[in-house]
Structure 1
Amino acid sequence: MNDANDADPTFRPGETLSRLYPEVRAGGYTRHDGFIEFYTRVNALLDADSRVLDFGAGRGLWAIEPFPELHRRLRGFHERVAEVHGVDVDPVVLDNPTLKSAQVIEPGGSLPFEDAGFDLVVADHVLEHIAEEDAVRVSAELLRVLRPGGWLAARTPNKWGMIGIGARAVPNDLHTRVLKRLQPDRKAEDVFPVRYSMNTRRALSALFPPPNELVVYGHASEPTYFGSHAPAWRVAQLVDRLTPPALAPTLMVFVRKG
């Protein structure tokens, strides 16, 4: 079997990633990879008949920029399910090549779909951008379009984790400038204001109460948000090892509609 670098010659792990996580050279992923952790569980909730809504689908970065082949296979579930539809507040979603249909919505607005029409809604790094005044409506709309027994799968920074605290310490008008310094290869159009109104266990419990089933757990991935700064990565690794699970930098959120 070819490894990820053979399958996708455009992907090369960065020097800092390779030095601190040498296993990335064998297959293109590390033992802490949050992308694989999240999308492995997403795939376990899907079958060939699933209808999926990609909430905050964006331009489909994983499909148009260099990614390890295993990541592409896990994220490319549109090739293994019945349909994937997408919505976003940014018109770039109209150019997303992985969607059966794409629509632009207003922040906090209604979703243009019938009740109980989807088996799964995926929201990958989206909930942190929902404004406080929109959180109740957004959560209600996500539940409305799910069939009973369907799942919402979300990955988002923990408000009380290192990423969340750091992001909230930077005013939104400086967010792009700071990220450009830390991650010089990140495009400005992929940076959005952060709100953190749906990013604690308490908030999620209030927004998705019983009879819905809420599963939330913390996860610590590689500190790629520090760009290629190896000393900062080492500090972040130490902080992650000393941090209790409740304060892990990322929340994996799964809600089964009751």
Structure 2
Amino acid sequence: MALAQHDLPPTLYPEAAAGGYSRIDGTVAFYSRVVALLGPDDRVLSFGAGRGRFVEDPVALRRHLQDLRAHAGEVIGLDVDDVVLGNPTLTAAEVITIGEPLPLEDDTIDVVVSDFTFEHVQDAVWAGRELGRVLRPGGWLCARTPNKWGYIGMAARAVPNGLHDRVLSVLQPQKKTEDTFPTAYRMNTRRALERCFPSPAFTHHSYLHDAEPAYAGTSTAAWRLFQALHAVTPPPLRSMHHVFVQKSPTGG
């Protein structure tokens, strides 16, 4: 979760004064690895590209890392919401329908990037099939999504979708209503991801990660509480999946 420098309690993250981000910043960790996989001529699919809200990120490094056009040859954005058509960070954009084939030919995408989208996918079988189909042999799927069994995933599933806007308006008042969507959590465990992208056609290099507790609001005491929670949380219960899956160079 991207946070402005002023959102980070300086007593807990003093390093944020040097560049605006913490040592455990989830966006920096995820996109640094994505950028390391990209080549200047690569064709990238941004799956669930949305409106490109990262342009509002106050931290320059995070904006640069998330601007995939700066690191690849072409960035195609697909989303079920027509807001993607106004996304200024894409080379091309198209609205898609769940259950229908993606408007891309087989084996034509070098890297798929999907940031906080998998938790909203209602049809995991369709998503796995279509993303795997368009990815070229040897290409990479990169996704960031909450762990179903982490505290964020469990809290989100405990709150009915109809109340998500109201709850997030308290926990994350800076998040806009148009950036909140119903959740399904059908691609949010390692087992579910391995079903969507099965061996030997795909090789998994994913890991679980705990970033700053953005949902703690502005209370330093709450941030300390979440820091303590992170310190004792077993690895399988960490809050975020950083998904890195490579398609077999032979195509499976």
TM-score band, normalised by shorter chain: over 0.9
Q: Displacement of 1:62 after TM fit?
A: 1.1
Can you list the C-alpha shifts for 1:186-223, whole angstroms capped at 9, x where unaligned?
A: 11000111111100011111111112101221100001
Select the residue among 66, 77, 80 that pairs with 1:75. Answer: 66
Q: Distance in 1 between matches of 2:7 and 2:183?
A: 29
- Residue 235 of structure 2 aligns to which amino acid in structure 1? P
Q: Displacement of 1:167 after TM fit?
A: 0.7
| 2:125 paired with 1:136 | yes
Q: Displacement of 1:168 after TM fit?
A: 0.7
Partner of 2:28: 36
Structure 2 counterpart SS, 1:20: coil
Partner of 1:120: 111
8 A contact 2:75–2:90 mirrored in 1 = yes
8 A contact 2:8–2:16 mirrored in 1 = no
TM value normalised by structure 1:
0.91
Partner of 1:226: 216
| 2:156 paired with 1:167 | yes
Partner of 2:102: 111
- Residue 193 of structure 1 aligns to which amino acid in structure 2? P
Q: Distance in 2 between matches of 1:158 and 1:217?
A: 10
Select the residue among 138, 159, 165 that pairs with 1:149. Answer: 138
- Residue 140 of structure 1 aligns to which amino acid in structure 2? R
Select the residue among 36, 42, 48 that pairs with 1:50. Answer: 42
8 A contact 1:16–1:229 mirrored in 2 = no
Q: Displacement of 1:229 after TM fit?
A: 2.8
Partner of 2:170: 181
**How many residue pairs are counted as aligned between the two chains?**
245
Partner of 1:94: 85
Q: Displacement of 1:67 after TM fit?
A: 2.6
| 2:6 paired with 1:14 | yes
Select the residue among 19, 31, 47 that pairs with 1:27. Answer: 19
Structure 2 counterpart SS, 1:29: coil
Structure 2 counterpart SS, 1:110: coil
Partner of 1:217: 207
- Residue 126 of structure 2 aligns to which amino acid in structure 1? R
TM value normalised by structure 2:
0.93
Q: Displacement of 1:14 after TM fit?
A: 2.2
Structure 2 counterpart SS, 1:241: helix
| 2:197 paired with 1:237 | no
Q: Distance in 1 between matches of 2:57 and 2:40?
A: 27
8 A contact 1:108–1:135 mirrored in 2 = no
C-alpha change, 1:148 and 1:15, in structure 2 (3 Å) is closer
8 A contact 1:130–1:196 mirrored in 2 = yes
Q: Displacement of 1:12 after TM fit?
A: 5.3
Q: Which runs of 5+ in 1 are unaligned?
A: 1-10
Q: Which runs of 4+ in 1 moved over 6 A?
A: none
Q: Distance in 2 between matches of 1:227 and 1:75?
A: 24
Can you list the C-alpha shifts for 1:117-175, whole angstroms capped at 9, x where unaligned?
A: 110000001000011xx101111100001000000000000000011011111000001
Q: Distance in 2 between matches of 1:29 and 1:163?
A: 21
Q: Distance in 1 between matches of 2:101 and 2:215?
A: 32
C-alpha change, 1:66 and 1:216, in structure 2 (3 Å) is closer
Structure 2 counterpart SS, 1:114: coil
8 A contact 2:35–2:71 mirrored in 1 = no
8 A contact 1:215–1:254 mirrored in 2 = yes
Q: Distance in 2 between matches of 1:15 and 1:49?
A: 36
C-alpha change, 1:44 and 1:16, in structure 2 (3 Å) is closer
Provide the alpha-carbon RMSD of the alignment.
1.4
| 2:247 paired with 1:257 | yes
